[in-house]
Amino acid sequence: MSPSNLASVAVGRPVRGEFTYVVPEGLSGRLSPGQRILVPFGRSMSLGFFLGPATPPPEAESVKLKPIMKVLEDSPSLPPDLIALLRFAAEHYRYPLGEVIKSALPPGLTKTEMEKEAKPDVQEFAVALVTEAPAILRRAPAQSAALAYLLAVGGRAPLEEVAHAIPGARETLRKLVERGLVRIDEEVIAPGVKEGLGQGRPAQLTPEQDAAVKELHTAIDTGGFQPFLLHGVTGSGKTEVYLRAVERALSHGKGSLVLVPEIALTPQLVGRFRSRFGADVAVLHSALKDRERLFHWQALRKGTVRIAVGVRSAVFAPVENLGLVVVDEEHDPSFKQEDKLRYQARDLAVVRAKQAGAVVVLGSATPSLETLENTRRGRYRKLELKNRVDDRPMPTISLVDLRQERPREPLAQEEAPILSAPLLDAMAETIAKGQQVILFLNRRGHSTFLICEVCGTSVKCSECDVCLTYHRSQNRVVCHYCGVAHPLPDHCRECTGPLLKMGVGTERVEAEVAERIPQARVARLDRDSATSAERLTEMLASFARREIDVLVGTQMVAKGHDFPGVTLVCVVMADTSLAIPDFRAAERTFHLLTQVAGRAGRGKDPGRVLVQTYNPEADPVKRMLVHDFDGFAQRELERRKVLAWPPYTRMAAVRLEGESAEQTASVARQLGDFLARQMPPASWGVRLLGPAVAPISRIRGRTRWQLLLKAPTHAALAPLLARLEMKLVDIPSAVRVTIDVDPAAML
């Protein structure tokens, strides 16, 4: 058999490796790499992806080769540079290639059907044909209201929006059309994309922006892989730098890929891209419908849309002729996917840029230590924005030492208060000036645990090794790991003693603000209140319209928001994220505190930040107080070096989970022994930690164990992981084993 008769195929099934198939005569000449095909696999048919010609396997095996049954599309869904990236991901993260490809494609393309063309949406716009209401409308108040609305928003608005603002507007507008005062236009729009609330192009860049933009322009003009870190303090105008770089890439006919942590939390950034580049932007977020996803994929693939802005999975968007990759807030933990293909999108973005010969910009006010170390080693070039736009000052930050500053006299409830006098005074003062407050606490619920006053037993989940959180709005205790909820117990199960509500959550902070500052309009933003993307958008919009004075929330309030009315940010408890048993706890604390502090003083009024803490001496707390990121990073990097943690070590976590505690423990030991026997020579520096019970020893009734592998380079780990993967075939299926390469969370 000649090699051209053989095809290498990734099968869309959870199986390792590439498979060889025969190309039947009728299909030869019709195949190109990246095409979706249909192949026999096992006893049934399966979706496959043609990767290229294959080299013939040994004689004996060639006999059994099966033919490709069908080609499902004329032009390949997967462009060549994406195939290269997906191959890398499968290899690096130890995940079956076919499954990797399936997770990259929109659901519409993972079925074994012929490709369908996704249709765009049509949106109706009402356009005013006059510049003021004529006299004849005086006796038609509804019509004059609808027209007034249109004129107030610039003479043109989506019909849907007018109908939303004014009840019955559809009918009213029809009457206005009859009078020749309004026209209805139909426009083709990309589905799932709403008009963005944009901001104009600033007349002038700041000198620092200008310098950064110049360097990026030169890099884009030259072409080729060039990685940059854009380290800019909060409010320094990083987005404008991205926009100018995207413009430059477009001027060379090149596409751009922009990754952001969470679209719903960054509507302003998306709005700026939409208002600058209009329909040339595909917005890829997790709430898209299947059909919308398919539409964007096809538009990008055809090159009719050249910019993709999206969340982590957008790293796989088929942008044509890629010239620029941007990762905004590159330190954000949401770039790591925590199930199935456990990839880090920021890392894959750099790999993709390298493979495509593109410029890549990683932007942040608090870069990850991994990125910082790459910059220190000269792998990435650093661009710095040390000042805020318009010479606005950085917020002043002060500490409230909770060991000295007892919160004011008990409330008319059983719990001790949590808001100290300086916090309450500052909040009242800010609200009196008509300005806004953000109150940050990274814990949901009312009380984070219940403890018996007599015997000290805490109320735990029966299925998980964690304490239950009390949610007052539901009057229930809830497990934040498995979601189980029970009515609030009225006494201790062990000794019938009374239960104390301990550990503060956002729900309780909200209640205390309402009680202490009755004149304040308070709202809470966390996963319990923002139950849908729409609800979240609505809350953020309402805060932006200043209908809310105090916004209490979890890290959802800390993200890249730009609310000019916010002049006070309070951190209710800086210590919550410090105590987590994870080597990244200090880094994460520093990031969170700096990000949330960065929400203050972004408008014309200067901002201030108050941080309540029991640990005023903790390094991240002390350093963020004086905006000393470099000092913090320096010290933290030294500590990581001494303790051999990333970025000085590459890691892989092997996690086990099983119903039976004995069986899981025994498999963990078995894998531990296997790895110990397979260890490469000591000079490679590979180390095995464990097996050990995971820090959270049980979730959903399943016992958890883990093994950690550390090595100076990923290359030293890779062969060991490959052998481990083969070994997993022998493991009883009752114990689930996952390999997490470059793990983010240690719990």
From the list ligand ADP, Zn ion, none, partner contacted by residue 236 (C-beta under 5 to 8 A by kind): ligand ADP
- Does 463 interact with Zn ion (rule: CB under 5 A)? yes
Examine residue 691 and say whether the peptide bond preceding it is cis (omega within 30 degrees of 0).
Answer: yes
Q: What are phi and psi of 437, to 5 degrees?
A: -125, 140
CA–CA separation, 206 vs 239, rounded Å?
13
- According to DSSP, residue 192 is labeled T
The 3 state secondary structure assigned to 521-541 is CEEEECCCCCCCHHHHHHHHH
Among 479, 540, 708, 711, binds Zn ion (CB under 5 A): 479
Q: Where along the sequence are the contacts to ligand ADP (CB under 6 A)?
A: 199, 202, 204-206, 209, 232, 234-240, 389-390, 560, 562
Instruction: List C-alpha distances in Å: 676 to 316, 663, 705, 746.
Output: 36, 20, 17, 21
Using the minimum distance from each CB to Zn ion, give the nearer residue, 382 or 460.
460
CA–CA separation, 400 vs 447, rounded Å?
22
By CB under 5 A, which span of 283-291, 456-464, 572-580, 716-724 interacts with Zn ion?
456-464
Using the minimum distance from each CB to ligand ADP, give the nearer residue, 209 or 529.
209
- Flag whether 467 is marked binding: no
Give the orientation angle of helix 629-643 with respect to helix 369-376, to 10 degrees.
90
Examine residue 646 and say whether the peptide bond preceding it is cis (omega within 30 degrees of 0).
Answer: no
From the list ligand ADP, Zn ion, none, partner contacted by residue 199 (C-beta under 5 to 8 A by kind): ligand ADP
CA–CA separation, 259 vs 311, rounded Å?
5
From the list ligand ADP, Zn ion, none, partner contacted by residue 240 (C-beta under 5 to 8 A by kind): ligand ADP
CA–CA separation, 73 vs 57, rounded Å?
27
By CB under 5 A, which span of 21-29, 52-60, 270-278, 454-462 interacts with Zn ion?
454-462
Q: Does the CA dihedral 561-566-567-572 come out positive or negative?
A: negative
Shortest Å distance, C-beta 488 to ligand ADP: 42
Q: Does the CA dihedral 718-720-726-732 come out positive or negative?
A: negative
From the list ligand ADP, Zn ion, none, partner contacted by residue 237 (C-beta under 5 to 8 A by kind): ligand ADP
- According to DSSP, residue 460 is labeled B
By CB under 5 A, which span of 158-166, 217-225, 471-479, 671-679 interacts with Zn ion?
471-479
Using the minimum distance from each CB to ligand ADP, give the nearer residue, 268 or 649.
268
Using the minimum distance from each CB to ligand ADP, give the nearer residue, 360 or 468.
360
Q: Show the CA angle centred on residue 569, arms to residues 536 and 425, nearest 5°.
A: 120
Shortest Å distance, C-beta 258 to ligand ADP: 13
Instruction: List C-alpha distances in Å: 5 to 27, 41, 42, 57, 88.
Output: 10, 19, 21, 12, 26
Using the minimum distance from each CB to ligand ADP, give the nearer residue, 237 or 318.
237
644 burial level (CB within 10 Å; 0-12, 13-18, 19+) = middle
Shortest Å distance, C-beta 362 to ligand ADP: 13
From the list Zn ion, ligand ADP, none, partner contacted by residue 209 (C-beta under 5 to 8 A by kind): ligand ADP
- Flag whether 479 is marked binding: yes
From the list Zn ion, ligand ADP, none, partner contacted by residue 482 (C-beta under 5 to 8 A by kind): Zn ion
Positions of E strands within 483-521:
485-487, 499-504
Using the minimum distance from each CB to ligand ADP, give the nearer residue, 278 or 498.
278
- Does 464 interact with Zn ion (rule: CB under 5 A)? yes
- Flag whether 455 is marked binding: yes
From the list Zn ion, ligand ADP, none, partner contacted by residue 142 (C-beta under 5 to 8 A by kind): none
By CB under 5 A, which span of 123-131, 477-485, 556-564, 736-744 interacts with Zn ion?
477-485
Q: Which residue has 């058999």 as its token pair?
A: 1
Shortest Å distance, C-beta 573 to Zn ion: 24
From the list ligand ADP, Zn ion, none, partner contacted by residue 461 (C-beta under 5 to 8 A by kind): Zn ion
Among 314, 439, 450, 461, binds Zn ion (CB under 5 A): 461
- Flag whether 495 is marked binding: yes
Q: Are 736 and 672 in contact (CB under 8 A)?
A: no
For residue 349, what is the enclosing H or E element? helix 345-356
From the list Zn ion, ligand ADP, none, partner contacted by residue 234 (C-beta under 5 to 8 A by kind): ligand ADP
Q: Note the residues at the interface with Zn ion (CB under 5 A).
A: 461, 463-464, 479, 481-482, 484
Q: Which residues are annotated as a binding site for Zn(2+)?
A: 452, 455, 461, 464, 479, 482, 492, 495
